[in-house]
Structure 1
Amino acid sequence: MPEGKIIKALSGFYYVLSGKDTVQCRGRGVFRKNKVTPLVGDEVVYQAENDKEGYILEVKDRKNELVRPPIANVDQAILVFSAVEPDFSTALLDRFLVLVEFNHIKPIICITKMDLTNDDQYKEIQSYAEDYRKAGYEVLLTSSETEEGIKDLYPFLEGEISVFAGQSGVGKSSLLNALRPDLGLRTNDISSHLGRGKHTTRHVELIKVGNGHVADTPGFSSLEFIDIEMEDLNFCFPDIQRKSEECKFRGCLHIAEPKCAVKDAIQNQEIPNYRYEHYKSFLQEIKDRKPRY
């Protein structure tokens, strides 16, 4: 039986890439019975007599999956944040980073619209970028208008399935258009009233960029820490996690415990104070979360 990868899901159809061919398939009824929904990114076994009428027979094991956006087998997330319009937010970035780290997906930070910054804003973004690089993240500063940093992004996409994620209006579609000008993806300007853009992507689709695939998604519709427990949060902040190995007490949450290496690192400015404040805020949010039954 032929095998392939689902690159698009739309209106009950799954478009399976097999070699150089794309075959339109439906899911067999057995998936509904077993509550298995094929996702974009799935490796599947299918049967087809032609390129318009096929059936997915088997979905292979996934290494990961996201619920919103619905996609599987993601290698990395390109977290797209604008320098301005809307303004860069470390709190929102750290929230995205926690969700991505928790799902064992490699994050790459891409700050867009650098061409719109004034000198002070540019210096501020450079400072934040350096903080996140010290924390262990790859950070790219880009502009879809001037193409600053666009070429630097290509090597990260090679051979990978990448998700572009970020709040609406930050320039995800513009960035994809800069990477592949032939796409002509629709973009929307920022609403001056709301300070954010409208989603311009309505379905999940894998787009070929070089030898990799990029998922242009409708974005994360939920940024809540639904499945993350308090003891998990430490591992979603790599800079905090590294220091926590020096804490006196195992399982230290870095709040009130004595001889905490993380709090010492904050005092010594080895970890930015805003990262620690976000950590504490997220920890409280998880603590206050209503239990599920």
Structure 2
Amino acid sequence: MSEGIIIKALSGFYYVEDKGQIIQCRGRGVFRKNKITPLVGDQVVYQAENDKEGYIMEIKPRRNELIRPPVANIDQAILIFSAKEPNFNSVLLDRFLVLVEFHQIIPVICITKMDLLLETEIKILKEQLSVYERIGYEIIFLSSHTTEGIEQFRSIIGTHTSVFAGQSGVGKTSLLNALQPNLALKTNEISTHLGRGKHTTRHVEFIQIDNGLIADTPGFSSLDFNELDIEDLPWTFPEIQEIGKDCKFRGCLHENEPHCAVKAAVEIGDIDEDRYQHYLQFLGEIKDRKPRY
């Protein structure tokens, strides 16, 4: 038997790369029986029937995994938002950050379509995003048309295994084409009726960019917090987690508790007011969620 990595999943087949060779595999019946689904990114043991086909016999332990999109063993999540068409949405960004932090995946924030902004709009947007830089997040400003930031983005990919995440229509596919034109991936226009992009990716597949791998996926089809409990939320906000250590009561949720260091920090501007309001919004969503059984 041999070992490899699943680089593509489509219609019940798993395409395993092993030393440059691609083997089309099916999963063993025991996976279905135990409700285990092989994921793109899985390191697997497979048994080859011939030089093109085989069966996955074992899935190696995962460092992490995402449910939607279904990928595993991701080093970093590249959160892609557009400066315009659709406009940047900080609530949505914070929602993505919570999910990525919860899975202990390093996030990188990328803002595309910078060429569509006027100078005054660029200044406003960068001031808005400076909040995230102060927290410690890396931000890259990009344009697939002018190639602004493309080489910086290429260096971020490096030798990592990354997943793209973000709204549809923000230019994820155009960005991949700018990085590697011979991919010739299909792009699609913004829906004028819905005001958002149309999905162009229908399955999960790794695309190699230089020495790195990018999981090109249909996107995060769910942005709810079904996997989080209320005590999980504070540590997905790094600044709240850090300042929350000074709260008087252990397990403080930074909502209505007295002597809360986080609320005090919001009042004096050490924690961004908008980020804190998003935190409270997400906390309410988790509290209102139906109990899990």
Between the aligned partners of 2:185 and 2:113, the Cα distance in structure 1 is 17
Structure 1 residue 245 and structure 2 residue 245: aligned?
A: yes
- What SS class does the counterpart of residue 245 from structure 1 fall into? helix
Between the aligned partners of 2:215 and 2:104, the Cα distance in structure 1 is 17
Name the residue aligned to 1:203: 203
Between the aligned partners of 2:36 and 2:290, the Cα distance in structure 1 is 28
Between the aligned partners of 1:230 and 1:115, the Cα distance in structure 2 is 40
- Cα shift readout 1:57-116 (whole Å, capped 9, x = no counterpart): 111111111111111111110000001100100000000100111111111110111000
Kindly report which structure 2 residues correspond to 1:254-269, keeping only aligned pairs within 5 A, or say none. 254-269=254-269
Task: Give yes or no for contact 2:16–2:23 (8 Å, CA) kept in 1.
Answer: yes
Task: Give yes or no for contact 1:24–1:51 (8 Å, CA) kept in 2.
Answer: no
Between the aligned partners of 1:279 and 1:239, the Cα distance in structure 2 is 11
Residue identity in the other structure for 1:241: Q
- Cα shift readout 1:22-74 (whole Å, capped 9, x = no counterpart): 11112122222222211100000111143322111111111111111111111
- Cα shift readout 1:196-252 (whole Å, capped 9, x = no counterpart): 011000000001112110001000111111021111110000011111112222111
Structure 1 residue 185 and structure 2 residue 185: aligned?
A: yes
Structure 1 residue 24 and structure 2 residue 24: aligned?
A: yes
Task: Give yes or no for contact 1:76–1:105 (8 Å, CA) kept in 2.
Answer: yes
- The CA RMSD over aligned residues, in Å, is 1.1
Cα displacement (A) at 1:155: 2.2
Residue identity in the other structure for 1:166: G
Residue identity in the other structure for 1:218: P
Residue identity in the other structure for 1:284: G
Task: Give yes or no for contact 2:79–2:166 (8 Å, CA) kept in 1.
Answer: yes
Kindly report which structure 2 residues correspond to 1:108-127, keeping only aligned pairs within 5 A, or say none. 108-127=108-127
* TM-score normalised by the chain length of structure 1: 0.97
Residue identity in the other structure for 1:33: K
Residue identity in the other structure for 2:241: Q
Residue identity in the other structure for 1:205: E
- What SS class does the counterpart of residue 182 from structure 1 fall into? helix
Between the aligned partners of 2:209 and 2:258, the Cα distance in structure 1 is 50
Structure 1 residue 6 and structure 2 residue 6: aligned?
A: yes
* TM-score normalised by the chain length of structure 2: 0.97
Name the residue aligned to 2:216: 216
Task: Give yes or no for contact 1:95–1:223 (8 Å, CA) kept in 2.
Answer: yes
Task: Give yes or no for contact 2:78–2:165 (8 Å, CA) kept in 1.
Answer: yes
Query: Which runs of 5 or more structure 2 residues have no equivalent in the other structure?
Result: none
Task: Give yes or no for contact 2:265–2:271 (8 Å, CA) kept in 1.
Answer: yes
- What SS class does the counterpart of residue 162 from structure 2 fall into? strand
Name the residue aligned to 2:233: 233
Residue identity in the other structure for 1:61: P
Between the aligned partners of 1:185 and 1:128, the Cα distance in structure 2 is 32
Residue identity in the other structure for 2:104: H
Between the aligned partners of 1:111 and 1:271, the Cα distance in structure 2 is 23
Cα displacement (A) at 1:185: 0.9
Which stretch shows the higher mean deviation, 253-262 or 188-197? Answer: 253-262
Residue identity in the other structure for 2:106: K
Between the aligned partners of 1:107 and 1:279, the Cα distance in structure 2 is 18
Residue identity in the other structure for 1:168: S
- Cα shift readout 1:153-178 (whole Å, capped 9, x = no counterpart): 12221221100001111111111111
Task: Give yes or no for contact 1:24–1:53 (8 Å, CA) kept in 2.
Answer: yes
